């Protein structure tokens, strides 16, 4: 008789600090709209003031300043600069024993 334990592992990403979802919304808007992307790279004050598709961005003072003072020429460079300042996601592992079972030979 063999006895085995099955393990179930839950992995979740958690940000240590504030949720950067509005910075992600800014990036998403720049990805889907060439016009917004151009405005973000050339006049970030106006881009943030205008918002995108009738929606405003709820950025903290620090996030807003980070965007306003980032000077780059491509969206890729912009995203790289944002990633330097954002908190890295923290991965937490929660192992749970799901079930014990027995196999008979």
Q: Distance between CA atoms of 59 and 63, rounded to whole angstroms?
A: 6
For 91, the domain range is 2-103
- The reported pTM is 0.64
Each residue's pLDDT, cut to its tens digit, for the chain (105 residues) gives 555 555 454 444 444 345 668 899 999 999 999 999 999 999 999 999 999 999 999 999 999 999 999 999 999 999 999 988 776 666 665 555 554 555 555
Domain count, the chain: 1
**Nearest to residue 90, comparing CAs of 21, 38, 3, 13?**
13
């Amino acid at each position: 008789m063999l006895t085995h334990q099955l393990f179930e592992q839950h992995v979740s990403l958690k940000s240590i600090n504030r949720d950067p979802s509005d910075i992600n919304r800014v990036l998403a808007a720049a990805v889907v709209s060439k016009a917004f992307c151009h405005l973000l790279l050339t006049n970030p004050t106006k881009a943030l003031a205008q918002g995108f598709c009738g929606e405003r961005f709820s950025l903290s003072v620090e996030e807003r300043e980070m965007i306003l003072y980032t000077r780059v020429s491509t969206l890729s460079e912009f995203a790289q600069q944002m990633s330097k300042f954002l908190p890295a996601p923290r991965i937490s592992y929660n192992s749970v024993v799901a079930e014990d079972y027995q196999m008979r030979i």
